[in-house]
Amino acid sequence: MKIFKTKNELYKWNKLQADKVIGFVPTMGALHRGHLSLIKAAKKECEQVVVSIFVNKLQFDPNEDFEQYPRTIEQDIKKLQDEGTNVLFCPLQKEIYPNNPTLKINEINISRKLEGSSRPNFFSGVLTVVLKLFNLVQPSIVYFGEKDIQQLCVIKKMVAELNMPIIVRSCPTVREESGLAMSSRNQYLTVKERQEAAMLYCALSKGAQLIKQNENIKTIKTEMIKILQNKNIIIDYLAVVELDSFEEIKHYNNQSLLIAGAIYYNKIRLIDNIIIR
């Protein structure tokens, strides 16, 4: 596996790839089976697979966990080699943000909902870095996880609206046995805490079950809240929204839906969702 830390090295490598199909998996590292599932999907259909590890400061608010975010580069390199990754791009902050950024990408519709209403600068930070990375890697196909479904949708919009010649693939959420969605932030939790944090998935699953029984949305939310009654949990949001618009729904008419939630478990922010198609 080639490891590049500078844009220049990546640029030189890219020039040698001619018409090869390049698959790209952007990550913030602390790799787990969720990330690896994206790399496996890329390996299946691409001639070259590039993975980036970059903890993107621009998407963290000052009160968030940028400094504490887990950084496990040695273990990550080993996992990437085992998956047959061709290139790891792991730049320093100054390589991606050489000056104080004066240009940012904003999506002004779905980015304002759910995650965006709790983290107002998040999607702008994500889109800005993802666009920079796409321009550097020049992939044909990119891979994103449904675990971060709103991020996936916002990136799909950017690619479509900016006419970028890129295919965006979505990959299903990989979970621990308890149902807890795998996340780099799970490293902050003990084994016992992870069991308890799986309650978020229990609540969303209950919501999905009740939707299928045509229960009304208000009752569904009440039932989900009941499951999350725990002294260690603060609910940020629980929502039943239309999949494409992220608009909250009042009635279920067999449209594609998303049941999404964010909680603070002992101050650690966890998100998850279930898609109903």
Give me the residues that bind ligand AMP (CB under 6 A), please.
Answer: 27-28, 34-35, 37-38, 144-145, 147-148, 171, 173-174, 181-184
Q: Which among 190, 187, 175, 168 is positioned nearest to 31, based on CA atoms?
A: 187
Q: How far apart are CA 263 and CA 265, in angstroms?
A: 6
In whole angstroms, the minimum distance from the beta carbon of 145 to ligand AMP comes to 2
Q: Is 35 a catalytic residue?
A: yes
Q: How far apart are CA 56 and CA 96, in angstroms?
A: 9
Residue 271 burial class via C-beta count within 10 angstroms: exposed 0-12, middle 13-18, buried 19 and up: buried
Q: In this structure, which amino acid lies at residue 40? A: K
List the catalytic residue out of 32, 35, 132, 147: 35
CB 244, CB 213: distance < 8 Å: no
Identity of the residue, 171 or 241, whose beta carbon is nearer to ligand AMP in the bound complex: 171
In whole angstroms, the minimum distance from the beta carbon of 269 to ligand AMP comes to 12
In whole angstroms, the minimum distance from the beta carbon of 64 to ligand AMP comes to 13
Q: How far is CA 168 from the centre of its chain?
A: 13
In whole angstroms, the minimum distance from the beta carbon of 37 to ligand AMP comes to 6
Identity of the residue, 154 or 210, whose beta carbon is nearer to ligand AMP in the bound complex: 154
Identity of the residue, 141 or 171, whose beta carbon is nearer to ligand AMP in the bound complex: 171
CB 194, CB 178: distance < 8 Å: yes
Q: Active-site residue numbers?
A: 35
